[in-house]
Structure 1
Amino acid sequence: MGRFVTRQAATRRILAAVAAGTLGLSLAACGGDGKADAPTFVNGNQQAAAPGATPSPTAPPVPFEFAVTPADKKKDLPVSTEIGTSVKGGDITSVTLTDKAGKAVKGTLRDDKSSWVPSAPLKYDTSYTATVVATSAAGQVETKKVSFSTRGKSGNDIGSGLYLFNGKTYGVAMPVVLEFNPGIPKKDRAAVQRRLFVTTDPPQPGVWSWVDSGTQAYYRAADYWQAGTKISVRAALEGIPLSNGRVGDEDRKASAKIGDKFVMKVDNKTKKMLVYKSDKLIKTFPVSLGKPSTPSSSGTLIVMDKQEHTVFDTFAELGPEEGYRTDIDFAQRLTWGGEYIHSAPWSVGDQGVRNVSHGCVNLAPQNASWLFAQTKVGDPITIKGTERKLEPGNGWTAWNQTWAEFIKGSALPVPASLKGTPAASATPTPTTTD
């Protein structure tokens, strides 16, 4: 048995979870008075200047410039508004935001200190006052204060979803998946992506990548997550204005954990599944894949959902002549188009010999039961040698690309340290929030 498309797959419910994260304020240190004739010390002893030595010229100090956005008394701003901070010749010392009742709003500076991001959406139809303090390299302190107000709720929201359950454990290939309905226009993707924050512990920096339609965005690192990694996500989208007249619907947060490495590999040539745990081969199973008229998809797929018992009903899609309705055990969804790993007692004699399914990976009942008990949502399965390639967006296809291909889908510039091969990638400070 094989391909199964349900109304649920076409209009799947979007699930979201809530979690919180933290980011400390980082201040740059400045020192020295810039004098060329300052004495030199080695191991605590003052050294005499070399005869005839000429002091090195020093660059003139950078003029102290300090600006804040939004403009004072600005009205009708979105609840996604950040406090923009621009400083030359100094550094931001503090940012404080209070509402009209004087209550402080929590938030943090971005890593590049280009703006201060509230930890939750601002309130609609509310006045705020931002106080920003900056200090020059020479110690000069300057304070700027701006007041602004937010607009009312429009009601013309996009639909969005975060495929990550708070507190759950996932497989090493689990991407952070965001879904949008309708899709995000290309001209808006950079602004949306700037509002997507991910932290990983231990740090494994990654990149967001969009599918062409803008209906999904994936976040992953260059390699599979390390077992035991903690992932925290915030999609801070509530109120963000889009060019199609819509706005972001809500902020979504989740925090999850990555479990042990568990990988499945299927080769159409041998019609066998090899199962690896922590990079050790632990099982080999015969399989039957999709027959030539309904082939399985070749590529790297990810377990998206698991159902111990379900029903495949294809009459609505295939009609009364080709459709079927069958009880299925140990079903693990791999694509939105209806490809699964599942128990298939009717094809045991074909498994390891020939392909007879409608696109699914058929296993003997005892093998399907064992595998179902071992896998997690987010575990990868690589299928090769079939008549069809996995289509982008047909499932969570973030790993069906090389790293070089994947990062091309980012709407923002990718740091140079992340552009190399996975083995050569550096580990910069991860993107963080809260």
Structure 2
Amino acid sequence: MGALRRFGLVAAAAAVLVPLGSCTGESAGSKEQAAPQPAPPAQTLELTPVAEQKDLPVSTEIGITVANAGVRSVALADAKGRLIPGRMRPGGSAWIPDRPLDYKSRYSVTVTATDGRRAITKSTSFSTMAEPQRQVGTGMYLFDGNTYGVAMPVVVEFSEQIPESARAQVESRLFVTTTPAQPGVWHWMSGRQVTYRAPEYWKPGTVLSVRAALKGLPMGEGRFGDEDRKATAKIADEKLELIVKNSNKHIEVFRNGKKVKSMPVSLGKASTPSSSGTMVIMDKQESTIFDTTGEPGDQYRVAIQYAQRLTWGGEFIHSAPWSVGDQGNRNVSHGCLNVSYGNAVWLFQNTHVGDPVTVKGTGVKLERGNGFTAWDLSWKEFVKGSALPVPQELLDPVPAVAPSPSPSAGASASASAAAVTPSPSDPTN
């Protein structure tokens, strides 16, 4: 979501009559008469909801249709006269309150438009519905004030499937602003997850401001969104990328495009291979327990240090002192990337949640949606997952020059975002 576009003003053009010298011998008292000016174009302004409409969702927007004028002001007030701030949609089709409205409440709105010389004002009023019984849980994997790696997607999840018929409406209420500006697209990984990214990794130092404005939004089958969620987060000032090659069984670490470290690794053995593809570090834990008791296959329960999650299915980068002799030589893990204790510490201290990790050559492709898999799709594939039309300029964007680190620009603060966490499979090691 970029900066909101202002309406242009349509001004009436006035014909200008230029007097000509007389050569016909008219009498001294004759005067040339001015041609009549054309009437200014008629202004029109129509609003929705229509007057006194009842039982509307608390996600209601003020629809505005205007001709021969531009919107000058929108004043939305509750029953006590308290004004509610908001902003126009890009293109000016509607005005969106900055927060959800209250349930079972009455509102009035007055809109003024002008062509620079004349103004037209219209008003309407409406009331909202009672709080619905059937609500869909929503969550966002972006937390206020956090710093993330350059591949961190914006991920919004739902506790229930969103039908295809409702996805465009849901997507239209998901707003992302980036500073500096980097346009992106939403992609439905499934009916329970939608993901946002740009054509390329975020520029280092980018500020992401996100609003999932879903409280009270109809989501199909008589269900409504549970909450609005907001977060403003920063992308790290450096681009850190991990490339893992099964061919030589090493992890290469690149900082701003320059290789800074290489370390031996042991990947998943033949019966439990690691996934090949571009993943994103999802979570970091200094210590955790891997427990597969009760699961098919090998049974174990072991304490793990310096673990960084890559998939919901249980693939991690982590310290594995028991496999140091195998690292760089053979694959012996249950799917994870085993490194030495010292290398695990170094990675843990230098990486961010949101850093990209690309594994090559294992022969098993990363499963779509098994983690933050937005970057495992080409841009051409990614844009196909939007429920809304994608602007032409984003269908085939010009590749950007690799960005250099830059300081972050200011962004407005917002409330903390809650997350809905799927129930991942037990991790493997």
Code of the residue aligned with 2:197 in structure 1: it is: R
Query: Corresponding residue for 1:342?
Result: 318
Q: Distance in 1 between matches of 2:245 and 2:15?
A: 70
Deviation at 1:27, TM superposition (A): 4.0
Q: Distance in 2 between matches of 1:61 and 1:279?
A: 59
Q: Evaluate the alpha carbon distance shift between residue 234 and residue 409 of structure 1 in structure 2; reply closer, same or farther with a 3 A threshold.
A: same
Deviations 1:261-282 (A, max 9, x none): 1100011111111001111100
Asked whether 1:103 is paired with 2:82, we answer yes
Asked whether 1:223 is paired with 2:197, we answer no
Does the Cα contact within 8 Å between 2:11 and 2:115 map onto a contact in 1? no
Q: Evaluate the alpha carbon distance shift between residue 334 and residue 250 of structure 1 in structure 2; reply closer, same or farther with a 3 A threshold.
A: same
Does the Cα contact within 8 Å between 2:2 and 2:177 map onto a contact in 1? no
3-state DSSP of counterpart to 2:276: strand
Q: Distance in 2 between matches of 1:416 and 1:225?
A: 21
Asked whether 1:116 is paired with 2:95, we answer yes
Query: Corresponding residue for 1:81?
Result: 60
Q: Distance in 2 between matches of 1:327 and 1:433?
A: 39
Code of the residue aligned with 1:225 in structure 2: it is: W
Deviations 1:14-45 (A, max 9, x none): xxxxxxx9967834244561648789xxxxxx
Q: Distance in 2 between matches of 1:95 and 1:125?
A: 22
Code of the residue aligned with 2:226 in structure 1: it is: D
Deviations 1:51-96 (A, max 9, x none): xxxxxxxx99865332110011000000000000011222212111
Q: Which residue, 24, 28, 34 being the options, matches 2:8? A: 28
3-state DSSP of counterpart to 1:142: strand
Does the Cα contact within 8 Å between 2:10 and 2:68 map onto a contact in 1? no
Asked whether 1:386 is paired with 2:362, we answer yes
Q: Evaluate the alpha carbon distance shift between residue 144 and residue 327 of structure 1 in structure 2; reply closer, same or farther with a 3 A threshold.
A: same
Q: Which residue, 285, 297, 306 being the options, matches 2:275? A: 297
Query: Corresponding residue for 1:272?
Result: 250
Deviations 1:330-380 (A, max 9, x none): 100000000000011111111111111111111011111111111100000
Q: Distance in 1 between matches of 2:288 and 2:270?
A: 25
Q: Distance in 2 between matches of 1:285 and 1:372?
A: 14
Query: Corresponding residue for 1:354?
Result: 330
Deviation at 1:131, TM superposition (A): 0.6
3-state DSSP of counterpart to 1:317: coil
Asked whether 1:367 is paired with 2:343, we answer yes
Query: Corresponding residue for 1:47?
Result: none
Q: Evaluate the alpha carbon distance shift between residue 331 and residue 256 of structure 1 in structure 2; reply closer, same or farther with a 3 A threshold.
A: same
Query: Corresponding residue for 1:18?
Result: none
Aligned residues: 385
Q: Evaluate the alpha carbon distance shift between residue 86 and residue 130 of structure 1 in structure 2; reply closer, same or farther with a 3 A threshold.
A: same
**For 1:17-416, what aligned pairs fall within 5 Å after superposition?**
26-31=6-11, 33=13, 35=15, 63-136=42-115, 139-211=117-189, 213-259=190-236, 260-318=238-296, 322-416=298-392
Identity %: 53
Does the Cα contact within 8 Å between 1:300 and 1:397 map onto a contact in 2? yes
Deviation at 1:421, TM superposition (A): 3.8
Q: Distance in 2 between matches of 1:304 and 1:38?
A: 73
Q: Evaluate the alpha carbon distance shift between residue 24 and residue 412 of structure 1 in structure 2; reply closer, same or farther with a 3 A threshold.
A: closer
Deviation at 1:308, TM superposition (A): 0.6
Q: Distance in 2 between matches of 1:405 and 1:24?
A: 28
Q: Evaluate the alpha carbon distance shift between residue 133 and residue 294 of structure 1 in structure 2; reply closer, same or farther with a 3 A threshold.
A: same
Q: Evaluate the alpha carbon distance shift between residue 404 and residue 35 of structure 1 in structure 2; reply closer, same or farther with a 3 A threshold.
A: farther
Does the Cα contact within 8 Å between 1:302 and 1:396 map onto a contact in 2? yes
TM norm structure 1: 0.84
Q: Distance in 2 between matches of 1:248 and 1:305?
A: 27
3-state DSSP of counterpart to 1:166: coil
Q: Evaluate the alpha carbon distance shift between residue 130 and residue 276 of structure 1 in structure 2; reply closer, same or farther with a 3 A threshold.
A: same
Q: Distance in 1 between matches of 2:243 and 2:15?
A: 65
How large is the Cα RMSD of the aligned pairs?
2.4
Code of the residue aligned with 1:349 in structure 2: it is: G
Q: Evaluate the alpha carbon distance shift between residue 64 and residue 157 of structure 1 in structure 2; reply closer, same or farther with a 3 A threshold.
A: same
Q: Distance in 1 between matches of 2:219 and 2:77?
A: 27
Structure 2, unmatched stretches of 5+, are 20-37, 402-411, 415-429
Q: Distance in 1 between matches of 2:294 and 2:351?
A: 30
Q: Evaluate the alpha carbon distance shift between residue 328 and residue 400 of structure 1 in structure 2; reply closer, same or farther with a 3 A threshold.
A: same
Q: Distance in 2 between matches of 1:63 and 1:349?
A: 82
Q: Highest Rg: 1 or 2? A: 2
3-state DSSP of counterpart to 1:297: coil
Query: Corresponding residue for 2:33?
Result: none
Does the Cα contact within 8 Å between 2:9 and 2:114 map onto a contact in 1? no
Does the Cα contact within 8 Å between 1:316 and 1:323 map onto a contact in 2? yes
Deviation at 1:106, TM superposition (A): 0.9
Q: Evaluate the alpha carbon distance shift between residue 401 and residue 25 of structure 1 in structure 2; reply closer, same or farther with a 3 A threshold.
A: closer
Q: Evaluate the alpha carbon distance shift between residue 157 and residue 176 of structure 1 in structure 2; reply closer, same or farther with a 3 A threshold.
A: same
